Amino acid sequence: MASEKLVIVESPTKARTIGKMLGSEYTIMASMGHIRDLPEHSLGVDIEHNFTPQYVDTPRSAKIIRELKSLAKKADSIYLAPDPDREGEAIAWHLKELLDGSTKAPFHRVTFHEITKSAINKAFQATSEIDMALVDAQQARRVLDRLVGYMISPLLWSRIEKGISAGRVQSVALRMICERESEILGFTPEEYWNFNADFEAFSKGSGSIYSSKLFKINSDKFKASSKDDSDRILSAVKGASAGFKIALVETKPKNRYAPPPFITSTLQQTASNLMGYSATFTMQIAQQLYEGIELGSGTATGLITYMRTDSVNVASEAREECRRFIASAIGPEYVPEKPNFFKSKSSAQEAHEAIRPTDINLVPDKIAQFLSPQQLKLYTLIWRRFAACQMAPAEIKQTTVDTETRGADNNLYTFRTTASVTSFPGFLKVYQSDDDGDKDDEKFPPFLAELKPSCPSFLKDLKTEQKFTEPPPRYTEASIIKDLEANGIGRPSTYASIINTILKRLYVSREKGKLIPSELGFKVNDFLVKSLPDLFQTGFTAEMETKLDKVEEGSIQWTQMLQDFYKDFSDWLKKAKHADSPEQDKPKILITLLDQITEWEEPKKVGKRIYNDKKFYLSVRDKFNEGAHMTANQWQALLNLAAKYREKIPLLMKDAAEYGFTAEVEEAMQKNSDNAERIKNSTASDDDVNKYAKIFAFFDNVKWDEPRKSGGRSYDDGKFFNSLKTQALSGKILSEKQAYALAKIAGRYKAQIEGFAELAPLLGIDPDGETEGSGDKASGTLDPQTAEFVADLSGFEKWDAPASKGRRTFDDKSFFESLRKQHESGRTLSNKQTAALKKIHAKYFKPKE
C-alpha cells in the first residue's frame, strides 16, 4: 500500500506550485495562514500564569481544520512547510499542536528559501524539527503587542474618541511622522545667496566655456545671508582688476562599488522611489514572484527567493552562477577578480539569503510575456540589482577646477567646478537608480582636465541667486522605512504592516507620496508621548526588538522577557491613567458647588441608555469622598454638569477663578452650547418630515432582496431602509451618508418604484442615470436656509483675516468658498457643514427681524 504524505503550506498558490514538483504520493494542503490566534474580543493572555497565551481557532479556519484532521488521520508522514521565518515557524507549531491528537504520523519541518524543483527536493531530503526559539520569539511579539494594544487603547477611547487604538511599533512610527511634521511647521527659513559664474578658458573667443560656483572667500567657505552681502560680493568680484586665473586642476580616480542585493527594506524603499509602489503592494507582487509563475511549460516555478529577509548573504552556487552569466552575457571584464561579499547587520538572520532571482539566466526580457506589468517591473529591479552585486566597480575620473581672483575689496574669491566622467561603467551597465548617488553630468566639457594652474580665465557672466533654507522633507514610505530600520525598529515582516496600519486608522494620509499626520494622528501621538513617554520612544522600542532577537537566538526566555517588560509597563500604565487628573483641591471645590443643586433634570432615555445627571454625580462624589482618585474623565464630566447647571450655581465663576479652573469651565460651557446647537440642527422641521414621508411612500411596494453576505458583513436592504425611515419620520435629519445610501437603494430598486422619475429629484439623483444612484446629489440635510445663507455671503467682502490657533489656521473666507462650491455643484452639506455655515452667517450678518 502506497504511503500517504501530507504537506501543509500557508497559501493555495504555494500549494499548487509545490504540488507539481512533488510526486503523486504527496497531498498538499493550504492552511490559509494562521489557524489559531489570540481571541479578538478579550485579552487572551493569562498574565498571572507566566503570560500563557489563550489561543482559539480563527473564525475562518473551522472547515480547514476539519479537512486537515481528516487527512492527518490517513497520513503516514506530515510535512510542515510554512515560510522560513518567525511567523512561518509559529504556524508550523500551531499545526502540530492542533493535529497531534488526530494522528500517529511523525511531523517533519521543511524549510526552503526558494520554490524551485531542486530547492524543494533538497528541503524534503533534509527535514528538521520545529525551532521552538523562533516560535517563542513570535509568541513574545504577539503577546507584547496584545498587552500594549489592549491596555492602552481604552485610554485613547476615554481621552480622544471611541474605536481608535494604539500599537507598540506603529505608534512609534506615528511619533516619528508627527515630529517631522512639527519640525516642518515650526521651521523658519533662512536666506542665503548663490553666485554662479560662466568662465571662458584659455583665451577670449576660444569658446571653451565652463560654469562654476563661488566656493570660498579667502580660506573660509563663503556665506551671503542678505541682499546687502550679495551686492557687496558681486561688486567686489566684478571690480577685480587683476583678472581671473586657474588656481587648481586636480583629477582623481574614483571607484563606485556595486550595492548589495536587496533585502526587504531596501526593496520596499527602491520600489517606492522608482515606481511609486507602496510597501504593501511591493510585498504582494514579490509574494507572487516567490510562490510561483507558470512560464509556459505547464509547471510553475518561483522566480525569486523568500522576500522577507534582512540578510545580504548569497548562496555560493547562486553567486558563482551569476559570475558565469556576467562573463558570457555582458563581458569578462565586468567580472571582478574575486566575488563581491557584503556584510549583514548584526541582527540579521544569517541562515537567510538576500532577495535574488532563483535563476540569473531567466533574464527579464525572456519571461516578460508570462508576467503582469507590475510583476515584470519588480522582477527586473531584483534581477538587475542581483546581477550588479557581482559586477566590477564603475571607474570614474573626478576633475576639480578652482578659478580665483583678488576682488576690489582685496579678498581672494575662489570659484569651484567639479566634473565626473565614467571611464568604465562596471555594474552601472545593468543597474542605475535615482537614489544611488553620483551620476555623470554631461554639461561639463572634456577640456577641463587640460587646464593648467596659473592659466588665465575670463569672466563671461556672473549671476546671483536668492535662496532660502528648506525644512526637512516629509516622510515618504521609503524614507520612513529607512529611518525605522536605522533606529532598529521593526523587522522585514513588519515594515509594510506598520505603514498600512497608521494609514488605515486615518492617523496619517498619503498625499503625492508624502505621509502627512492627520489632526487625529497628532492628538493620538500627543497623548501617547505625554502619558507614556518611555514606552513610545524609539530607543525603548529598538531595545525590545533586540530582546526578541535574543529570544530567537535562545539566549533569553520569552516569559522572562515579558515579565521584565510588564513590571515597567504596569507602572507606566498606572501613571498614564492619572495623567491630566486635576489637583485634589479642585474637585473638592467643584463638588461643594455642585452640592448646591437641588433640582436636577429628569432621567432621559437615549437608545438603550438612561442618562441620570443626579445619579451619576452622586456616584462620582461618593467615590471621591471615600478616597478614590478622580480621573481626568470624571473631572471633565463634573465640569460639563457645572456648565449645564450654571444658573443654579451662583458662585461657580468666582470660585473657579479663585482656584484656577476658569478656562476649563468656560470650555465646558462652549462645548455645552455647541452640543445644543448640534441637537437643534439635527432636528427635522415639519416641512422636512413631510418631504421624508413623501420620499418613503414611493418604496411601499418594493420587495426587498434577501440579506446578502460580503466579507464578514451581512447586508439587509429592507432592514436598513426601515431604520432610515424610522429615524426620518421621528423628526431626525438623515446624515449625508444616510441620504447617499438611500439614493443608492432607490437606484438599485428602480424597476420596482412606480413614479421613479418623480422620486429622483427629491433624492437629488438623475432619473436616467446609473441604477446605483448618484450619491453626489443625495439630499440629506433639507435646510431651506442654506441657499439664502450662501447667497448672502457670496457677495461679502469684509472677511476677518485668517487666524492661527495651535497647529490650525482658521480662514472664514476660504472655508465658506469650499462650502459654496459644494452647494452650487448640487452636493449636500453635512450637518456639521450646515451648522458651520450658520455660524459664519451669524458672525457677519445680524439675524433678520
Q: Which residues have a catalytic role annotated?
A: 306
Q: Which of 419, 445, 442, 432 is nearest to 256 (CA)?
A: 432
Residue 104, C-beta contacts closer than 8 angstroms, at least 6 positions apart: none
The helix-helix angle for 613-625 and 585-594 (nearest 10°) equals 140
Q: How far apart are the C-alpha atoms of 563 and 296, rounded to whole Å?
A: 55
Determine whether 741 is exposed, middle or buried from the number of CB atoms within 10 Å of its CB (0-12, 13-18, 19+).
buried
Q: DSSP class of residue 335?
A: S
Sequence-ordered list of residues with C-beta below 8 angstroms from that of 447, at least 6 positions apart, any chain: 201, 208, 210
Are 558 and 138 spatial neighbours (Cβ–Cβ below 8 Å)?
A: no
Distance CA 54, CA 43 (A): 9
Q: Decide: helix, strand or coil at residue 301.
A: strand
- Do 402 and 378 touch, CB atoms closer than 8 A? no
Q: What SS3 string covers 761-800?
A: HHHCCCCCCCCCCCHHHCCCCCCCHHHHHHHHHHCCCCCC
**Chain centroid to CA 547: how far?**
25
First to last CA, the chain: 98
Handedness of CA 136, 138, 140, 143 (dihedral sign): negative
Distance CA 160, CA 181 (A): 20
Joined grid coordinates for residue 811: 480662514
Residues 6+ apart with CB under 8 A from 723: none
Collapsed DSSP state (helix, strand, coil) of residue 608: coil
Distance CA 83, CA 108 (A): 14
| Cβ proximity of 282 and 459 under 8 Å | no
400, β-bridge pairs: 250, 418
What does the DSSP assignment read for 25-42? TEEEEE--S-SEE--SSS
Helix axes 613-625, 632-644, angle to 10 degrees: 130
Residue type, 790: V
Q: For residue 87, how far is the Cα from the chain centroid?
A: 22
**What SS3 state is found at 104?**
coil
CB 140 within 8 A of CB 562: yes
The grid coordinates of residue 626 equal 471615600
- Rounded distance, CA 203 to CA 455, Å? 9
12 vs 687: CA distance, rounded Å: 58
Residue of 33, 94, 30 whose CA lies nearest to 67:
30
Helix (H, G, I), strand (E, B) or coil at 218: coil
- For residue 822, the tally of other CB atoms under 10 A from its CB is 16
> Going along 796-839, which residue ranges are E strands?
803-805, 808-810
- Exposed, middle or buried, 692 (CB in 10 Å: 0-12/13-18/19+)? buried
